[in-house]
Amino acid sequence: MKLFIETLGCAMNSRDSEHMIAELTEKEGYETTNDFREADLILINTCSVREKPVSKLFSELGVFNKKKKPDAKIGVCGCTASHLGEEIIKRAPYVNFVLGARNVSKISEVLHKDRAVEIDINYDESEFAFNDFRTSSYKAFINISIGCDKSCTYCIVPKTRGDEISIPDTLIINEAKKAVDAGAKEIFLLGQNVNNYGRRFSGEHEKVNFSELLRRLSKIEGLERIRFTSPHPFHMDDEFIEEFAKNPKICKSMHMPLQSGSSKVLKEMKRGYTKEWFLNRVEKLRKECPEVSISTDIIVAFPGESDEDFLDSLDVMRQVRFNQIFSFKYSARPETEAEHFTNTVDEEVASLRLTTLQNLHTEILDEINATSLGKTYKVYFEDLIQDYYVSGRSDDNIVIKVKGSDELLGQFRDVKITSIGRTILTGEVVA
């Protein structure tokens, strides 16, 4: 029996896909395939965060249905499953089941039911442990919390993933140890607000905050690198920044999702911080950890964003000089507060702002990258890429490739940069 799985969206979805693969291979005897035409089960693990992928879902389902093996089953999982539920089967009656983002542990159950729809966002795994499967043996994604308690007015995630619940640190540490025993030297902690960790557990549990969790994890022998996403600027207190700076196992790359540089827009978004707070946290971070690289998420053309507000986003870009940005045009989402805001920005203006922002970032990035030429970075190699290249990341999250074979995978090497590209730097191993 063969399983084809397409994963959209964020790292949490990737981890959910790994969980589903584990359940299906161990309990149901499936093996994975990259070709949906030979699959007995086709799963799409969907994302709802912006409208485009959602509208593409039904055309994609149509193609799967037309070209699949005649008796192959189709399941829609993830965030769009959570928010559209039953409607998916109404619009695409050949879909066999719908399984929400909070319910992935029920994959075996729904597989044997006819047209099951499992989308309870209050559903809580009594145990957060699944059968395990990892796409990479060098790096392990580990959930530290599920759901989100914030109410950013543009965002659908709290509706698709439910309340924020932290996973007990003992389970996280065990999972990390297991991954390290299996050969991973890096772990990647996942949650919508990782630095709000420990606020609520599903049962009685010792109060452990994110800084303490990081301290405990860093004691694991054989574990060399810890990364995490996403921290929230609102919760970036001094304790967290100081732990980040002084703990040698924590990679010096911080994601600081700005969303907007305008305090007025941030208020409308209910982000809980101002432009000044954000810049103050960047200043503190750079003071404690001068080598840090900073990435961000920015939304342009949120309802009511004036030219002046947009200039504030550009101003923060110029002041912070982010190493990486993920930028999006605002997309109205169902069941969010901002869906009802009427002061929308023209599509043309939105497109122009996005291009302006991205062009500015390209300029900044070219300047940053130019300073990397000739520098040496410690790289952890994770992927084999075409033409006999192996790629990995530096501590501060730069993607670097060198000529080499799979012998380098899972190894740390010092690499001197010999040429610069926008998304990847090339170098040679020097030690």
Strand partners, 255: 295
b/e burial code for range 65-76 (CB count within 10 A of at least 16 → b): eeebeeebbbbb
Report the amino acid identity of residue 347: E
13 near ligand F3S (CB under 6 A):
yes
Question: 331 touches which of ligand SF4, ligand F3S, ligand SAH, none (CB within 5 to 8 A by kind)?
Answer: ligand SAH
Does 193 help bind ligand SF4 (rule: CB under 6 A)?
yes
DSSP tag of 398: -
Distances (CA, A) of 420 to 109, 361, 368: 50, 16, 10
Out of 228, 244, 330, 380, point to the residue binding ligand SAH (CB under 6 A). Answer: 330
Q: What are the residues whose beta carbons fall under 8 Å from the beta carbon of 418, sequence distance 6 or more?
A: 373, 426, 427, 428
Residue type for 175, please?
Answer: E
Residue 10 in contact with ligand F3S, rule: CB under 6 A: yes
Name which of 193 and 324 has its Cβ closer to ligand SF4.
Answer: 193
How many angstroms separate the CA atoms of 285 and 183, rounded? 32
Q: How many whole angstroms separate alpha carbon 107 and alpha carbon 95?
A: 14
* Binding to ligand F3S, residues 59-118 (CB under 6 A): 78-79, 101
CA dist 194 and 235 (Å) reads 9
192 contacts ligand SF4 (rule: CB under 6 A) = yes
Q: Which is nearer to ligand F3S, 161 or 401 (CB)?
A: 161
Which residue in 161, 227, 393, 413 binds ligand F3S (CB under 6 A)? 161
148 sits near ligand SF4 (criterion: CB under 6 A): yes
What is d(CA 261, CA 384) in angstroms, rounded to the nearest whole number? 38
256 in contact with ligand SF4 (CB under 6 A):
no
Amino acid at 333: R
Q: Which stretch binds ligand SAH (CB under 6 A): 16-24, 137-145, 306-314, 324-332?
A: 324-332
Among 69, 73, 150, 249, binds ligand SF4 (CB under 6 A): 150
**Cα gap 176→153, rounded to integer Å:** 34
- Considering CB under 6 A, how many residues would be counted as binding ligand SF4? 9
150/378 with CB nearer ligand SF4: 150
First to last CA, the chain: 45
# residues contacting ligand F3S (CB under 6 A): 13
Least spacing, CB of residue 13 vs ligand SAH, in Å: 11
Q: Which stretch binds ligand SF4 (CB under 6 A): 93-101, 150-158, 183-191, 205-213?
A: 150-158
- Residue 13 interacts, among ligand SF4, ligand SAH, ligand F3S, none and using kind-specific CB cut-offs from 5 to 8 Å, with ligand F3S
- Among 157, 172, 282, 402, the residue binding ligand F3S under the rule CB under 6 A is 157
Among residues 160, 195, 196, 293, which is the contact residue for ligand F3S, using CB under 6 A? 160
For the segment 43-72, give every residue that binds ligand SAH (CB under 6 A): 49-50
Q: Kindly state whether residue 158 participates in binding ligand SF4, applying the rule CB under 6 A.
A: yes
Q: Which does 79 bind (CB under 5 to 8 A by kind): ligand SF4, ligand SAH, ligand F3S, none?
A: ligand F3S
Is residue 381 exposed (0-12), middle (13-18) or buried (19+ Cβ within 10 Å)? buried
Alpha-carbon gap, residue 14 to 134, rounded angstroms: 10
Q: Are 58 and 92 in contact (CB under 8 A)?
A: yes
Give CA–CA dist 290/282, Å, rounded: 10
Show the binding pattern over residues 289-308: x = contacts ligand SAH (CB under 6 A), - = does not: --------x-x---------
Task: Scan for tokens 């009594």, then name that residue.
Answer: 126
Place of tokens 């919390």: 145
Helices (H), 247-346: 263-269, 275-288, 307-320
Binding site for ligand SF4 (CB under 6 A): 148, 150, 152, 155, 157-158, 192-193, 232
Binding site for ligand SAH (CB under 6 A): 49-50, 154-155, 157, 192, 230, 232, 257, 259, 297, 299, 328, 330-331, 333
Binding site for ligand F3S (CB under 6 A): 9-10, 12-13, 47-49, 78-79, 101, 157, 160-161
